[in-house]
Amino acid sequence: MQSFLDPAILFFVFGILAGALKSNLEIPPQISRFLSLYLLMALGLKGGFALAKSGLTPEVSISLGLALLLAVLVPALGYLILRRWLSGFDAAAIAATYGSVSAVTFITAVQFLDTHGIAYGGHMAAAMALMESPAIIMAVLLANLVRRKEAAKTGATAGATAASAPGPLSKVMHEALTDGAQLLLIGAMLVGILSGEAGKSAMQPFAGDLFKGMLSFFLLDMGLLAARNMGKLRSQPPLLIAYALGAPLVHAGLALSLSVLCGLSAGNAALLMVLAASASYIAVPAVVRHAIPEANPSLYFGMSLGLTFPFNILLGIPLYVSVAQRVIPG
């Protein structure tokens, strides 16, 4: 219950209520974009400062390795499950959405750990950056495989199949690996590592003092956006709604098992659980809409933003942290 009294979470709830009431309250897109970039820059700096202090420890290497492993396992598992009920294109798009990560969910989790005095490693920001792209690349490869199978059934030539594809894989990979938000996070982290403790002191008013207020403002906007996308799910099959709420729990459980097996701390395990449980609603939909135009955007976008994101912000984060603390001794 205490997590619901956090100002950032309360602003998110307020945004959902305002959106449900069809209020004309709106955050201009330019401001929303600025807030998103600010949060990523501040998070990258915090991670860089922490890495400059701790150095490259075994837990850092293990955490990053587990992040990459989950970035492959989660979309692969999602595709195998969803392919039973959906077309190959929709299954690949949803698998990519849930295989990638939500930066805002991760940032909210970091703030939650800070508020409750739970230690974690700044390198987990790097884990988030590593987990964003593999799912997109896997989805595009799966979609191309589906196209070839459909072409074989219809007797289309290889040239016709290639012509129907939205673009070369190299272009999609370039977009996935050079996304501006991801590059900003990595660049800010490098700045933090290079500037160290002196940089931390200099940037404290920007990356520290303002962080909570900026996050609250951004979550207000996310609450409004989530409320407006919940209506799109009314016509969707109950199976997809169950997946949007159940998959995060399964993915978080997988991350916790790997964390216990590899000896991660409770704080790092909790953040790995949050990353595995989150679903992208910005980077992946933008790329997938171009790379897999055959997929239905209302499915992967509506599920991630209308259900999974609110679930993780309101219930998931405190649940994952509590379970990690109970399973992993402090």
Which residue, 175, 177, 178, 144, is CA-closest to 161? 144
Backbone region of residue 55 per phi and psi (left: phi > 0; alpha: psi in -120 to 50; beta: other values): left
Residue 195 token pair: 């500037």
Write down the pLDDT at residue 174: 65
Residue 299 lies in a domain: yes
pLDDT band at 170 (very low <50, low <70, confident <90, very high): low
Write down the pLDDT at residue 54: 77
Residue 146 lies in a domain: yes
Give the predicted TM-score (pTM) of the model: 0.86
What domain range is 156 assigned to?
A: 29-327
Write down the pLDDT at residue 171: 65
Average pLDDT over residues 310-319: 95
Residue 8 lies in a domain: no
Q: How many domains does the chain have?
A: 1
Q: Tens digits of per-residue pLDDT, 121-133? A: 988 988 988 888 8
Q: Which residue, chain included where needed, has tokens 């939909």?
A: 285
The DSSP result for 85-100, as a single string, is TS-HHHHHHHHHHHHS
Q: What is the mean pLDDT of the chain?
A: 86
Write down the pLDDT at residue 2: 53
Q: Tens digits of per-residue pLDDT, 12-39? A: 999 999 998 989 998 898 998 898 889 8
Average pLDDT over residues 116-145: 87
Q: Tens digits of per-residue pLDDT, 70-101? A: 999 999 999 999 999 999 899 999 999 999 99
Residue 9 lies in a domain: no
Residue 266 lies in a domain: yes
Residue 262 token pair: 């590899």
Backbone region of residue 137 per phi and psi (left: phi > 0; alpha: psi in -120 to 50; beta: other values): alpha
pLDDT band at 158 (very low <50, low <70, confident <90, very high): very low
How many percent of the chain have pLDDT more than 70?
A: 89
Q: How far is CA 200 from the centre of its chain?
A: 26
The DSSP result for 191-250, as a single string, is HHHHHHHHHHHHHIIIIIITHHHHHHHHHHHHHHHHHHHHGGGTTS-HHHHHHHHHHHHH
Q: Tens digits of per-residue pLDDT, 53-73? A: 877 788 889 999 999 999 999
Q: How many helices (H) and strands (E) does the chain have?
A: 17, 0
Residue 57 lies in a domain: yes
Residue 303 lies in a domain: yes
CATH code at position 136? 1.20.1530.20
- Of the two residues 264 and 145, the one the predictor is more confident about is 264
Task: Work out the widest C-alpha separation in the chain, in whole angstroms.
Answer: 65
State the DSSP code for 178: S
- Cβ pair 95, 59 in contact under 8 A: no
Average pLDDT over residues 36-45: 88
Residue 2 lies in a domain: no
Is residue 62 exposed (0-12), middle (13-18) or buried (19+ Cβ within 10 Å)?
A: middle
Write down the pLDDT at residue 184: 85
- Cβ pair 212, 59 in contact under 8 A: no
Phi first, then psi: give them for residue 292, nearest 5 degrees.
-130, 70
90-104, 146-160, 273-287 — which one is most confidently predicted on average?
90-104
Q: Tens digits of per-residue pLDDT, 242-274? A: 999 999 999 999 999 999 999 999 999 999 999
State the DSSP code for 167: S
Rounded CA gap, 325 and 330, in Å? 7
